[in-house]
Amino acid sequence: MARAINISVPRVTTWSWGKIARLLGFYVILLIIWQLLSQSGLWVSYLLPGPGEVVSKLISGFGDGSFLQAILTSLRRLAIGYGISLVLGVVMGLLIGRNRYVEETLGSLVLGLQALPSVCWIPLALLWLGLSEQAMTFVVVMGALFSITLGVDAGVKNTPRSI
């Protein structure tokens, strides 16, 4: 007796005019609430600007190139910090993965520190390095270092050794 094979076909989302109208209506209502809250006087205008003010700042920021400059600066910091954490993480991961004593000491520290979110490193970076490029790079390095280290460690331990 032949058995029927049950093949699950993903449901395709169909867009109807009603669905589009509900979606647009939702976002229009959100914009109206945002505008009303910004005009309510509950917050100072620099804490909660209205949508029109935000759009004008976006246009002027991209128009004068200041946003592009800030984006490029952030990407440079990210590349430098990630590069440093990649080199350190690979070295530490190889050491932890290949040496039992390093795993028992440094490995447990790395495992514990990996659970910290990156934002936890900001106060220490500001205390130790001040508001500087080095402080921002330090936060990026610390945010990526332990994940890379544990990934390399796992890769070393799960790679079969040759005979």
DSSP assignments along 114-149, one per residue: HTS-GGGHHHHHHHHH-SSHHHHHHHHHHHHHHHHH
**Mean pLDDT score of the chain:** 90
Helix intervals (H) in the chain = 17-39, 51-63, 66-98, 100-102, 108-114, 121-129, 133-157
What are the pLDDT digits (tens) for 48-107?
999 999 999 999 999 999 999 999 999 999 999 999 999 999 999 999 999 999 999 999
Residue spans of the domains in the chain: they are 17-63, 66-157
pTM here is 0.69
Amino acid 49: pLDDT: 93
Amino acid 162: pLDDT: 74
